[in-house]
Structure 1
Amino acid sequence: MILEDFLIKNEVGLFCKYGNFYLDPQQPVPLAIISHAHADHAIRGNKVVYCTLATAEFMKHRYKKFAADEFNILPYNDDFQVNGIKVTFVSAGHILGSAQILMEYNGVRYLYTGDYKLQSDATCEPYTFVKADVLITETTFADPNIKHPDPIDEIKKLNAERINIMLGAYALGKSQNIIRLINDHCVGKNILLHHSIYPFAKIYENFGIDLGKYSIYDRKVMKNNPGGNVYIVPPMVFNSYHKAINVKKAFASGWSRLQQGNEIELYISDHGDWLDLLKVIENTNPQQIWTLHGDGKPLQNYLKQKREVKILN
C-alpha cells in the first residue's frame, strides 16, 4: 500500500519520516541523501550525507571543510539501507554524478528523480529508466508548449559568428556540456573559461570525462583576437556585463526569458521538456505521480482520469 505521507514537504525540504532522512534539504540536517551537486540541492553543513562520488567531490570543492561531517559514497545500482529503507542510486542524466533516488519500503517503490534530462550528453551518465509505484518528479519544464531543440543544432549557431562570444552557462554541468559541444561541433573556436568554472572542468577530467581543448580566461587573448573566442562565464558575471563591447552575448538555457536581450539565442537545457516527462512517466509506469520544482498543474490536467497526480510544492 502506498503511504501518502512517505515523503512530506516542509520548510527544510523533502522529509522521509519512515527513514528519518531528508532528500536534498535546504537547511542543514543530521541525515541527507543528495541527488546531485547543484547548490539548490546540495547545501553545506549536513552531518551525514549519502551521495555519489562525483557529487561528493563537487561539494568538497565548493564548500571545503564545511561540505559535510561525513560522506557515505555509493555507486549507481548498488542498494543500501538507511534506517530500514532500501535505497538505490540510479543515473539521472542531469550532470556528472547526478542520481535518481529509488526508495523501497514495505514492498512499495518510491522514485525521486531529482533533476534529470533525457537528451544525449557526452559529459555525464545517461538517464536510466526505472519502474516504480510512485514517481516523485521535477516539473521544471512541464508545459506542453515547451520542446527543447537538439543541442547540437543549437551549438552550431556559434559557427556563423566571427566576433568573439560571451556565453553564459551554469558553472557546474552546463558549462562542461557546452565545452564538449563546442569542441565537437564548432571546430576552430577557442574556448576560454572563467576562473570559477575552470576547477569544475578539471574535476570532470579527473573522472575520465574528455571535454576537449580549453584554457582559463586571458584578457589579452580576447583583446588581441577580435574573433574566434568563446568566453564561458557563470550567470552572475554574465549579468554584470550589461554593456560588453566587441562581443556577442548568448546564454545557454531552456528558458525563453533568459534569451531576451542577447544577440544569439541558445536553447540548451539540462532538464527534460514536456515530451521527456511523458516518456519518463510511460517507462516508470507509476500508480501515482508526485510533482516538485515547477508547476504540476498542466500535468495534473493532462493526466486526469488516467493517473493520480499530487502536487507537493
Structure 2
Amino acid sequence: MILADFIVFNANGLYCPYGDFYLDAKLPVNQSVISHAHGDHAVGGSTNVYCTAPTAAFMLLRNGKTAAKVFHHIAFNQAFVIGGVSITFISAGHILGSAQVLMVYQGIRYLYTGDYKVQPDDTCEPIEWAKADVLITETTFAHPQTQHPDAVTEIKKLNGIKTNILLGAYALGKSQRLIKLINQHCPQKKILVHHKIMPLNAIYEKFGFALGNYQMYGRKLMKQQNEFVYLVPPFTFESYFKATGVKRLFASGWKNLQTNEQDTLFISDHVDWNDILQCVEHTQPTQIWTLHGDGAHLKQHFAGTIEVKLLK
C-alpha cells in the first residue's frame, strides 16, 4: 500500500518520517540525502550527508569544513539503508554526480528525481530509468508548450557571431557543458573562464570528464577581437551590463534570462514536458507526486489514468 505521508514537508524541507531522513534538506539536519550539489538542493551543515562522491567534492569546495560532519559516499546502483528504508542512487543526468533517489519501503518503490535531464550531455553520467510505484518528479518546465531545443543546434549559433562573446551561465553544471559543446561544435572559438568556474572544472576533470580547451580569463585578451568566449557566472554577467565590444548572451532554459530577442541561447539542464512524459513511460508509476513548479498540467493530462498529487 502506498503511504500518502511517506514524504512530507516541514520547516527543514522534504522529510521521510519512516526513515527519519530528509531529501535535499533546506536547513542543517541529522540525516540528509542529497541528490546533487546545486545550492538549492545541497545545504551545508548537516550531521550525516549521503550523496555521490562528486556531490561531496562540490560541497566541500563551496562550504569547506561546514559542508557536513560526516559524508557517506554512495555509488550509483549501490543500495544502502536508513531507518528501515532501502535507498539506491540512480543517475539523473542533470550535472556530474546528480542522482535520483529510489526508496523502497514495505515493498513500495518511491522515486525522487531531484533535478534531471534527458538530453545528451558529455559532461555527466547519462540518465538511467527505474520502475516505481510513486514518481516524485520536479515540474520546473511541466507545460505542454515548453519544449527545449537541441543543445547542439543552439550552441552552433555562436559560429555566426564573429565578435567576442560575454557568455553568462551557472558556474556548476551549465558552464562545463558549454565548454564541452563549444569545443566540439565551435572549435575556432577561444574559451576564457572566470576564476570562480576554474575549481569546478578541476573537479570534473578529476572524475574523468575532460572538457577540452579553455584558459583563465585575461583582461588583455578580451581587448582583442579574436572570437573569444568569456564564460562568467550570473553575478559577474549582471555586473558587466555596460560591457562594450562584446555580444552578451545568457545560456538558460528560461526566456526571461535571455538578454535580447535577436541572439538567444536556450540550453536547459532540466526536463521539458515531453521529457517528463518519457520519464512516466519508463517508470510506469501508479501515482505521480510533483515538486518545484506547477504540476497542474500533469494532473490534467493524466486525469482518469494516473493519480497526480501536487506536493508543493
**Shorter-normalised TM range:** over 0.9
Q: How does 1:293-304 map to 2 (within 5 A)?
A: 293-304=292-303
Residue in 2 aligned with 1:24?
24
User: What is the CA–CA distance in structure 2 between the aligned matches of 1:217 and 1:140, rounded to whole Å?
Assistant: 33
Residue in 2 aligned with 1:189?
189
Whether the aligned pair in 2 keeps the contact of 1:113 and 1:136 (CA below 8 Å) is: yes
Residue in 2 aligned with 1:176?
176
Q: How does 1:60-75 map to 2 (within 5 A)?
A: 60-75=60-75
User: What is the CA–CA distance in structure 1 between the aligned matches of 2:26 and 2:274, rounded to whole Å?
Assistant: 29
User: What is the CA–CA distance in structure 1 between the aligned matches of 2:246 and 2:270, rounded to whole Å?
Assistant: 28
Residue in 1 aligned with 2:235?
236
Q: Note the C-alpha offset of 1:260.
A: 3.9
User: What is the CA–CA distance in structure 1 between the aligned matches of 2:42 and 2:193, rounded to whole Å?
Assistant: 24
1:266 alignment partner, SS class: coil
User: What is the CA–CA distance in structure 2 between the aligned matches of 1:204 and 1:305, rounded to whole Å?
Assistant: 44
Q: Note the C-alpha offset of 1:187.
A: 1.0
User: What is the CA–CA distance in structure 1 between the aligned matches of 2:165 and 2:241, rounded to whole Å?
Assistant: 14
Residue in 1 aligned with 2:58?
58
Whether the aligned pair in 1 keeps the contact of 2:249 and 2:259 (CA below 8 Å) is: no
Q: Note the C-alpha offset of 1:264.
A: 2.1
1:244 alignment partner, SS class: coil
Q: Residue deviations 1:246-284, cap 9 Å, x none? A: 000111111111114375200000001000000001110
Structure 2 unaligned blocks of 5 or more: none
Whether the aligned pair in 1 keeps the contact of 2:123 and 2:211 (CA below 8 Å) is: yes
Residue in 1 aligned with 2:140?
140
Tell me the TM-score normalized by structure 2.
0.99
Tell me the TM-score normalized by structure 1.
0.98
The residue identity in structure 2 corresponding to 1:307 is I
Overall identity of the aligned pairs, in %? 57
Whether the aligned pair in 1 keeps the contact of 2:248 and 2:259 (CA below 8 Å) is: no
2:110 alignment partner, SS class: strand
The residue identity in structure 2 corresponding to 1:88 is T
Whether the aligned pair in 1 keeps the contact of 2:250 and 2:259 (CA below 8 Å) is: no
Q: Note the C-alpha offset of 1:109.
A: 0.3
Q: Note the C-alpha offset of 1:10.
A: 2.1
User: What is the CA–CA distance in structure 2 between the aligned matches of 1:242 and 1:177, rounded to whole Å?
Assistant: 24
Structure 1 unaligned blocks of 5 or more: none
User: What is the number of equivalent residue pairs in this alignment?
Assistant: 312
2:127 alignment partner, SS class: coil
Q: Note the C-alpha offset of 1:240.
A: 1.6
Q: How does 1:1-313 map to 2 (within 5 A)?
A: 1-223=1-223, 225-261=224-260, 264-313=263-312
User: What is the CA–CA distance in structure 1 between the aligned matches of 2:169 and 2:256, rounded to whole Å?
Assistant: 14
Q: Note the C-alpha offset of 1:148.
A: 0.5
The residue identity in structure 2 corresponding to 1:281 is V
Superposition RMSD on alpha carbons, in Å? Answer: 0.8
Whether the aligned pair in 2 keeps the contact of 1:110 and 1:135 (CA below 8 Å) is: yes
Whether the aligned pair in 2 keeps the contact of 1:100 and 1:113 (CA below 8 Å) is: yes
Q: Note the C-alpha offset of 1:189.
A: 0.4
Q: Note the C-alpha offset of 1:222.
A: 0.4
2:159 alignment partner, SS class: helix
1:120 alignment partner, SS class: coil
Whether the aligned pair in 2 keeps the contact of 1:139 and 1:291 (CA below 8 Å) is: yes
Q: Residue deviations 1:210-243, cap 9 Å, x none? A: 10000111111101x2231000111111112221
